[in-house]
């Protein structure tokens, strides 16, 4: 399982320079790029998170909420939301020398589910963003990753006017497996977003290693 993810992770170094000639090296100079999905309900802060942490100008495919979508996209409880991501967000962050993450923000609306399976190919893991005012909105993402056995962390995007929940409370409300981390974050803050991603890489590393040991034992 673990090797599969690594093989199919985005292989090229991002700027096309750092990885050249070093692909066999082990250690600091080896450039490893891993693919991470950022999922969660509509308006939960996926585009915001990818934009806050990305070192490259995030690629966004946003469209004005159209008249056609106005009855379909439920914007109740979502702040000042006038655009919606129709395809996905894309960004990159270097976690430490030689380790970059490519971030793919999944489409937030149910009618774009068909895009997920392709996005999920080769992903190391996922961040499921949650808004405690609309916790049910992240159920589909939680189910999706649980069923496909893709390691994920739940990141609670702490909107100021939302009641403060503890991580345990969110974990119980979402009926998460005990090992699934819940992290409180502010999607607008780079360090906070980075912390979420580090927790995910650590968690996914543990899950993938355990599976590897299972498969050889
Ligand atoms: N106050 C506050 N607003 C946020 C936060 N995260 C996102 N927003 C706002 O909420 C709206 C939806 O965020 P967006 O990233 O587009 O959601 P997406 O649909 O998940 O991509 C935007 O207007 C953001 O500016 C946050 O942590 N705090
Ligand atoms: Mg978005």
Domains, the chain, ordered by start: 2-216 (3.40.50.300)
Instruction: For residue 118, name the pLDDT band (cuts at 50, 70, 90).
Output: confident
Ligand 1 atom closest to 186 (CA):
27
Ligand 1 probe mutation, 41, 45, 69, 190, most atoms within 8 A of CB = 45
Ligand 1 probe mutation, 43, 52, 133, most atoms within 8 A of CB = 43
DSSP lists the bridge partners of residue 126 as 37, 152
Q: Find the length of the chain.
A: 217
Ligand 1 probe mutation, 46, 48, 137, 156, most atoms within 8 A of CB = 48
Tokens at residue 62, please?
């946003």
> Whose C-alpha lies nearest to ligand 1, atom 6?
45
> Whose C-alpha lies nearest to ligand 1, atom 13?
45
Tokens at residue 59, please?
């690629």
Contact (Cβ atoms closer than 8 angstroms) between residue 76 and residue 8: no
> Whose C-alpha lies nearest to ligand 1, atom 8?
45
Greater model confidence, 101 or 6: 101
Q: How far is the CA of 53 from the centre of ligand 2 (A)?
A: 14
Q: How far is the CA of 25 from the centre of ligand 2 (A)?
A: 37
Q: How far is the CA of 45 from the centre of ligand 1 (A)?
A: 4
Q: What per-residue confidence (pLDDT) applies to 55?
A: 92
Contact (Cβ atoms closer than 8 angstroms) between residue 137 and residue 40: yes
Instruction: For residue 5, name the pLDDT band (cuts at 50, 70, 90).
Output: very low
Instruction: For residue 31, name the pLDDT band (cuts at 50, 70, 90).
Output: confident
DSSP lists the bridge partners of residue 105 as 38, 89
Instruction: For residue 71, name the pLDDT band (cuts at 50, 70, 90).
Output: low
Q: Which residues approach ligand 1 with their CB closer than 6 A? A: 42-48, 79-81, 85, 108, 157, 159-160, 186-188
């Amino acid at each position: 399982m673990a090797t599969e993810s690594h093989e199919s992770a985005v292989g090229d170094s991002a700027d096309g320079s750092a990885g050249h000639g070093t692909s066999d090296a082990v250690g600091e100079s080896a450039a490893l790029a891993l693919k991470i999905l950022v999922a969660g309900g509509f308006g939960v802060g996926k585009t915001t998170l990818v934009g806050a942490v990305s070192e490259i100008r995030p690629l966004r495919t946003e469209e004005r909420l159209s008249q056609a979508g106005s009855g379909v996209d439920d914007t109740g409880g979502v702040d000042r939301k006038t655009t919606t991501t129709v395809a996905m967000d894309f960004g990159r962050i270097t976690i430490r020398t030689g380790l970059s993450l490519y971030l793919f923000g999944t489409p937030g609306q149910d009618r774009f589910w068909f895009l997920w399976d392709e996005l999920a190919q080769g992903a190391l893991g996922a961040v499921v963003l949650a808004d405690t005012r609309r916790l049910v909105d992240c159920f589909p993402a939680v189910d999706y990753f649980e069923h496909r056995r893709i390691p994920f962390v739940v990141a609670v995007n702490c909107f100021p006017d939302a009641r403060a929940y503890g991580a345990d409370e969110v974990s119980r409300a979402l009926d998460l497996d005990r090992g699934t981390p819940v992290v409180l974050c502010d999607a607008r803050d780079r360090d906070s977003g980075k912390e979420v991603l580090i927790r995910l890489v650590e968690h996914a590393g543990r899950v993938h290693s355990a599976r590897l040991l299972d498969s050889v034992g």
